[in-house]
Structures are given as C-alpha cells and as structure tokens.
Amino acid sequence: MTGKKRRLKRILKNGKTLIMPADHGVTKIEQGLENIDELIRMVCDYIDAVVLHKGIVKNSKAILDTDIGLIVHLSASTYLCRDPNDKRIVSDVESVLKLGGDAVSVHVNIGSDTEGRQLEELGKICDQGDSYGIPVLAMMYPRGNVEVNVETVKQSARVGYELGADIVKVPYVENFPEVIRYCKIPIVIAGGSKGSEIELLKRVEKVMREGASGIAVGRNVFSSSSPRDIAKALYDIIHEGMSVEEVLENERNMVISGWR
C-alpha cells in the first residue's frame, strides 16, 4: 500500500485537504469552466487537488506545469437524460494511472433507482484501487426518493467507508459529528450550489472544528468573481486554522461576496 499512501499525501496534507472539483461540464456546463487551465493557474497555490474528467486531463497544459494533486472522475451523466441520478462509469483505474492521476473519484447516488449498480461499480473500483495503489474518493449523495438529513448522509458516508473508499465526500448537514462518528476514513464536505461565499467560509470553519478533513468545493470557487481569493480564504481556514474573521481582517483587499 506504499503507492496509495504516497498518492494520498499529495491530496491530504497533514490530514487536511482543499479539493476543487471541475468535472461539472459533463453534467451541465457551468460558468467559470470555459478555460480550465486558466482556472487551475489562478488557484493552484491554494488548492491541494483538482477533480477532472479524462478528456480535460489529456488536453491540459496546466496539469503538467503545476504540482497539485490530480483526481480523475470516473462517473458521468447529463442533465438532459431521463434520470440524471443514473451515473455511469466512463473510465477505469488503469487508464487514470496512464494519465498520471493521483486518485480516482466515483459518484454514487444513495436512494436512487440505480443505487444497486452504482454500489457494485464502486466496490469493484475500490478493489482496483487497492490492486494498483491508487486512492478512491467516493462522492456519496442521498438522492432520488430520499431526504438529505443526518441519517441519510450518515448512511451514505458509511457505505463508502464499508465498500473500501479512501476518502468520502458528502453534503453538509447539521449534527455533522454524528456522520463522522460512523465513518473512520477522511470526510470532505461538498461545497454545494453557488451561494454566499461568506456563508460558505463560516460553514467550512464550523465543519473543520467538528472533525471533517476538508472540503471539495467547485462552483463556489470557479464561478466566483475572484476564484483565487476564495481559494486562499478556504486554504487559510482549512490549513492554517484561521477563523473567518481572521481571514477577512488579514486580507482587507480580498474579494468575497457577502462581506462588507
């Protein structure tokens, strides 16, 4: 497992991480994803890893020029299909290694009509990850005919843990320590839809105090008016242990929506 441990250290720095998913373009094109290389160069000083689909990786120069961790996403569906919750596997661990990936990520919708097949695929990919020494980030979401609450998020995290993932990503819910209690691998919270950046920073400060290992935030970084500023603010909270007030006081020229 030496290879897996070395790759995990590129993503988890002293047990903490700031991941920027930028794989959204397959599901639905989002503002801020027009030029992935430009985006990566803006935030590379502050993020630990980026999540991309294989085609972006193959055509990226920034991935070669920067030293951030590379997580290649294996799941896909579009908003145009009958069931966007029906995620399909579109690559494999061996292909990701050829691309120079440090980890793979898999999206599973717990409670969806196709949950069973998605769980089967996650289990197999976790086995491949162990065989090849590459970590697996399991993005575990309660979706379909289920509510998002502490019980469904706790169940989702536990499933990722039990099926062999190395990191799980779940939505944030109140009473988050209850989720952590049942999942003994690193947990990162999802950044969610684009919203108030100041509220995001407060949520991240809170969840880090509660024991999370970090955050995987996409839209709230790449759709920000200043991706570099929000990435730096998140870095300071996650890795430097700063409060939101300290971050904003130290960086008076920082562009953060909802502040001032």
Choosing from 4, 16, 23, 194, the catalytic residue is 23
243 Cα distance to chain centroid: 22
What is the percentage of the chain residues whose pLDDT exceeds 70? 96
| DSSP letter (8 states) at residue 248 | H
Residue ranges per structural domain of the chain: 2-250
Instruction: Tell me the residue type at 28.
Output: K
Has residue 258 got a pLDDT over 70? Answer: no
Helix, strand or coil, per DSSP, at residue 73:
strand
Has residue 60 got a pLDDT over 80? Answer: yes
Average pLDDT of the residues in 224-249: 94
| Tens-place pLDDT, residues 106-148 | 999 999 999 999 999 999 999 999 999 999 999 999 998 899 9
Instruction: Please name which of 208, 164, 161 lies closest in space to residue 189, comparing C-alpha atoms.
Output: 208
Average pLDDT of the residues in 207-227: 94
Q: Which residue intervals of 15-165 are DSSP H helices?
A: 36-43, 54-58, 62-65, 93-98, 115-132, 150-162
| Tens-place pLDDT, residues 154-184 | 999 999 999 999 999 999 999 999 999 999 9
pLDDT tier for residue 195 given thresholds of 50, 70 and 90:
confident
More confident residue, 193 or 211: 211
Has 169 been annotated as catalytic? yes
Asked whether 183 and 169 are in contact (CB, 8 A), the reply is no
| Tens-place pLDDT, residues 69-90 | 999 999 999 999 999 999 999 9
146 Cα distance to chain centroid: 22
Determine whether domain 2-250 maps to CATH 1.10.150.120: no
Quick one: which H or E segment has residue 32?
none
Average pLDDT of the residues in 88-98: 97
249-257 own/partner pairs: CB under 8 Å, 24+ apart:
254/226, 254/229, 255/224, 255/225, 255/226, 255/229, 256/197, 256/198, 256/201, 256/226, 256/229, 256/230, 257/196, 257/197, 257/198, 257/224, 257/225
pLDDT tier for residue 254 given thresholds of 50, 70 and 90:
low
Has 232 been annotated as catalytic? no
Angle at the Cα of 93 (from 88 to 95), degrees rounded to 5? 95
Helix, strand or coil, per DSSP, at residue 82:
coil
Choosing from 46, 141, 172, 235, the catalytic residue is 141
Instruction: Please name which of 196, 231, 193, 219 lies closest in space to residue 30, comparing C-alpha atoms.
Output: 219
To the nearest 10°, report the CA torsion of 177, 179, 182, 183.
-100
Choosing from 54, 169, 194, 232, the catalytic residue is 169
**CA–CA separation, 218 vs 221, rounded Å?**
5
Q: Which residues pair with 71 in a beta bridge?
A: 51, 103
Termini Cα distance of the chain = 48
